[in-house]
Amino acid sequence: MPPELLLASASPRRTALLTQIGIRHQIKAVDIDESPLASELPAQQVVRLAQQKASTAFNLLSEEDKTKTVVLASDTLIELDNVSLGKPANQEECIAMLTALSGREHQVLTAICVCSASVTKSQCINTKVQFAHLTLTEMVTYWQSGEPADKAGSYAIQGIGGQFVKSVNGSVSAVIGLPLYETKQLLKEFGVTP
């Protein structure tokens, strides 16, 4: 019997992406401290956070469920000049992030982690995104839409924020929050298939 899949995320985007490729799953959101550690590089941080989400969700399972469940977790950060940009706390932070991204290329780092009772595997996917030049009016209007409030780097490529993206070199689904190709391949190693 194939294992059950538990997605350790409250993100409607991640569950929609899994559903899009026919992967049945349950959802268990976990709350962890996402603050960077001292001198931690963004790529290290995003992998650590995905692993921590996966292990936290796995440890909440009953002993019986641990034997038949695989947990998938993901985390996404924006890297600009070796600094990670998380979610903005307010309009001021949103505008500061969008100003920094305006007219520049940045990297979107999305880590995935899959764990079972015996194995944990992680992977980090790097996608380059080129932003258009933004005006202050565009940034304020975008903040007022409500979309940037819970998005890494203050934008959602699949939403209104997509109008600011000039080009993507890599996985668009990773920018949204879950790299479909890599996730499907990793889940297959754990016996989880559509």
The residues annotated with a catalytic role in the active site are 75
Count Cβ neighbours within 10 Å for each residue of 19-36 and write b for 16 or more, e otherwise. eeeebebebbebeeebeb
Query: CA 145 from chain center: how many Å?
Result: 21
CA distance readout (Å), 117 to 3, 28, 41, 58, 129: 11, 17, 29, 8, 36
Sign of CA dihedral 56, 194, 111, 173: negative
